[in-house]
Structure 1
Amino acid sequence: MFLFCTAIPLHTTAPIEIIDVTMHIKDIFHQNRVQNGQITIYSAHSTAFVAINECESMLQQDMVTFLTQLVPQHQDFKHNRQPIDGRLNAHSHLLGLFMNASETIPIADGELLLGRWQSIFFIELDGPREERTLRIQIIGER
């Protein structure tokens, strides 16, 4: 059984930002030559998440608009009254209730089983941030 772990450092530049990390994930996958198993992509943050969806620029703009409208930033959230790190980010935590911290993708016959239109995204909800980390774990047979 083969096990590999690594991390991708990220820098975000917008309050809500959707970053396509598919090529990074595919590069890591191809370097490790796993034939059968799974790859897990994990965000170790409470205001940044992982999602699989279609990569199309207007759809991504729609996603940002939807998230911004779903939980508007400027409300009287109790969490914002005494922020731990000075960030008024209750809205980011609340949006996170609807997202995943990780995604797991099967690997079969040396192929990462993403659908034709599927891409892997890191979704920042509390940016900009200098340091974010996306963790990758591959487990399987070579």
Structure 2
Amino acid sequence: MPTLTKLYTMQEASQHNTKDNCWVVIDGKVYDVSTYLDDHPGGDDVLLAATGRDATEDFEEAGHSKTAREEMRALCIGEVDTTSSDIPELEIFPENQPPGYPKKLANLTKQYWAVPVAVVGISVVIGVLYLRKK
């Protein structure tokens, strides 16, 4: 007997966007990651930022391991209903500001702060060592 798959609209999936109730959509599948937020190696803010949209590209760019993909199977609760004609609600932004700019900038600064700090730290160490030799 085949297993019935629950279908969800993107709008329905996007409403589950809190720390206590968090769903993400990856490759057309809906995952309830609420219980996994504290265990996610990238932090819960990465998963919370992925709600409300298709996070497939973000997931693939992060380079998840085979083990991570296997663990996802247990969190899958259904699939996105592609026959639905959901139209997302439009947001109004000032002309000079691109949509989602503050949120994207905040996410980048949270995720990638270590790289510039490491570059500066290594540069200082190399500079000190170079000056000591002279």
Same fold (TM over 0.5): no
1 or 2, which has the higher helix percentage? 2
State the TM bucket, normalised to the shorter chain.
under 0.3
Higher gyration radius (CA) = 2
After TM superposition, the score normalised by the length of structure 1 is 0.24
Higher strand share: 1
TM-score (norm 2): 0.25
* Structure with bigger RCO (C-alpha 8 Å, 6+ apart): 1
